[in-house]
Amino acid sequence: MTSGPTPNQQAITPTPPRVAAFFDLDKTIIATSSAFAFGREFMHNGLITTSEALQMSLAKATYMIAGQSSEQMDTTRDQLASMVAGWSVEQVREIASETMHNVVTPAIYAEARELIAFHRNAGHDVIIISASASHLVGLIAEELGINQVVATELEVADGYFTGEILFYCKGAAKAEAITDLATEHDYDLALSYAYSDSATDIPMLEMVGNPVTVNPDRAMKKTALERGWEIRSFRHPVPLFQMPSPREVSIGASVVAVVTAAAAGSIWWARGRRGSA
């Protein structure tokens, strides 16, 4: 009589590879800038002045039209870090939480929600990886039901922001974070996905076997075409700042020029003037 296989002879089912989907946030998941989105709400709560809120609005408009270069991102990083120094972390969270559904939720791309759902249904881990501050990115991740976030970390002491940056999640730092996550969670990066709009995230997309550009800026689109990367367009909702019609451009060209120049020159011009007075 033939006996069955011993326990040591039992077939071992291989563990399926773990796959991750890494998402940039601004202009990839949401049709706005998470760094600038809450300017009006911060003003209403006395954290910034009317002039500073206006400069944030102008900066957001410029960002939606032309994006930001690597150097502009660094400048924005420094200005934002300086601005929040002394702010209560709890107050910022409360303001952002209370206004999330009015400010950010309407700006989430329907296509991004569908794509996140697709990856979840496929058993993939979904991770937001963003240059914006983790205190804001985390709230948006909660709205989307995402529990893994890698974002810029601001120093906090005794419940208040100090103005120092502990980790800046941009460019090569995103690629390094993905490497660390892959090691920690045993992700197969050759099977994994990454999504972004900005050329500053090319190092992140190079890390995975399935790089996808979403609403790519000019430099990102050029790279995508050269390397054969997938290009997707997310259109719903329409970005919060829309380009004016040709007639509006003709009527208000000088106003648009002044607004763009002011935003590009310095987001916190008014704050700088007040501080040097």
Q: How do 148-157 and 125-133 pair as beta strands? A: parallel
Q: What is the DSSP string of 94-119?
A: HHHHHHHHHHTGGGB-HHHHHHHHHH
158 included as an active-site residue: no
Q: Which residues contact 127 (CB under 8 A, 6 or more apart)?
A: 20, 21, 22, 23, 146, 148, 149, 150, 181
Tokens of 69: 């270069």
| Phi, psi for residue 20 in degrees, rounded to 5 | -120, 155
Task: Tell me the three-class secondary structure of 85-100, residue by residue.
Answer: CCCEHHHHHHHHHHHH
d(CA 152, CA 73): 12
Per the residue annotation, which of 26, 125, 197, 217 is the catalytic one? 26
Q: Is the dihedral of CA 217, 232, 225, 188 positive or negative?
A: positive
26 included as an active-site residue: yes
Per the residue annotation, which of 24, 125, 197, 201 is the catalytic one? 24
Catalytic residues: 24, 26
